[in-house]
Amino acid sequence: MTMKRTDIDVDPARCPLCGAPNECARTVPCGSAAGKPCWCVTERFPAELIARVPASARGRACICARCAAGGHAGD
């Protein structure tokens, strides 16, 4: 059986577009960012960028800041 990207477990600490750490506050150990909002809460993500996130990762893994700024995605 061939595994597709959508069949692989999603790592919530990694960007679903480039695989780099996404620095999501929800994935850091308790205490280090406890009570702090994630960097992404003040960001706006274009619909085109969100559409590139695999369906299996939507709502499960955050896009990293570099991809959000257009510096990684599509390299």
Between vectors from CA 63 to CA 19 and to CA 32, what angle results, nearest 5°? 90
pLDDT at 34: 55
- Paired strand residues for 21: 14
Range of the domain at 56: 14-30+46-70
Tokens, residue 71 = 């510096």
Chain segment 3-48, per-residue pLDDT in tens:
444 446 899 999 999 999 998 887 766 555 556 778 888 888 899 9
Q: Looking at the domain assignment, is residue 65 inside a domain? A: yes
Chain segment 42-58, per-residue pLDDT in tens:
888 899 999 999 999 99
pLDDT at 49: 93
Q: Looking at the domain assignment, is residue 5 inside a domain? A: no
Number of domains in the chain: 1
Q: Looking at the domain assignment, is residue 61 inside a domain? A: yes
pLDDT at 72: 61
Of 42, 52, 44, residue with least CA distance to 69: 44
Query: Do residues 19 and 8 lie in contact, with contact meaning Cβ atoms separated by under 8 Å?
Result: no
Is the entire prediction scored with pTM above 0.75? no
